[in-house]
Amino acid sequence: MTGGGRSSSSNPPARRPARRPSNPPARRPARRPSEREDMTDRDELREVARQAAEGAAERVASKTPTMEQIERIVDQTATRAAREAAADAAKTAVAQTLIGFGLDPNNRAEILKDMLFLSEMRSLSASSKRHVVLAILGILATGVATAVWAYLKAGGKVP
């Protein structure tokens, strides 16, 4: 074909959905049970309801905690609260102690530097005490040696 027409071979025509019949099949009316069947059904329903109620009561009773379980829960809660209170008290005590030493409790790097400096000072103090004791012993030994030398130089007479 020429022009803008469509060819029937490239685009098949769209299919229409199938139509439903306008008259659905008639439904049968429900059969009404006899009075005897009705009583039997009611008895069965009552039995099912009674069993369900008993089962629900058993489930509730099995989920209800015993006094031992309640006491254990209370103990666990009290223990948890005591731990949290002790942790809070410890944090407060440490912070107050650091503030008392003139340190900022929020600056951990500075606290670490200060503690390392104190550790070095303690070790230097211990080593300087050893050096002082050795120096005093050296001075005493020199004095004793000088006194012995002077005594011997004087010919055994005390000057």
The tally of CA atoms less than 13 A away on the side-chain side of residue 159 is: 8
Q: Model confidence over 27-76: pLDDT tens digits?
A: 666 666 666 666 677 778 888 888 888 777 777 767 777 888 888 888 89
Residues whose CB falls within 8 Å of the CB of residue 70, separated by 6 or more in sequence, listed in order: none
Nearest to 46 by CA among 57, 36, 38, 58: 38
DSSP letters, 46-115, are HHHHHHHHHHHHHHHHHHSPPHHHHHHHHHHHHHHHHHHHHHHHHHHHHHHHHHHTT--TT-HHHHHHHH
Residue 5 pLDDT > 60, yes or no? no
CA 143 from chain center: how many Å?
70
In which band, very low, low, confident or very high, does the pLDDT at 8 lie, cut at 50, 70 and 90? low
Residue 22 pLDDT > 70, yes or no? no
In this prediction the pTM is 0.39
Q: Model confidence over 74-98: pLDDT tens digits?
A: 889 999 999 999 999 999 999 999 8
What whole-number distance in Å separates Cα of residue 103 and Cα of residue 110?
Answer: 8
Query: Tokens for 17?
Result: 């959905």
Q: What is the reported pLDDT for 65?
A: 77
From residue 49, alpha-carbon distances to 35, 45, 158 in Å are 21, 6, 127
Percent of the chain scoring above 70 in pLDDT: 73
Residues whose CB falls within 8 Å of the CB of residue 151, separated by 6 or more in sequence, listed in order: 157, 158, 159
Query: Tokens for 47?
Result: 């039995």
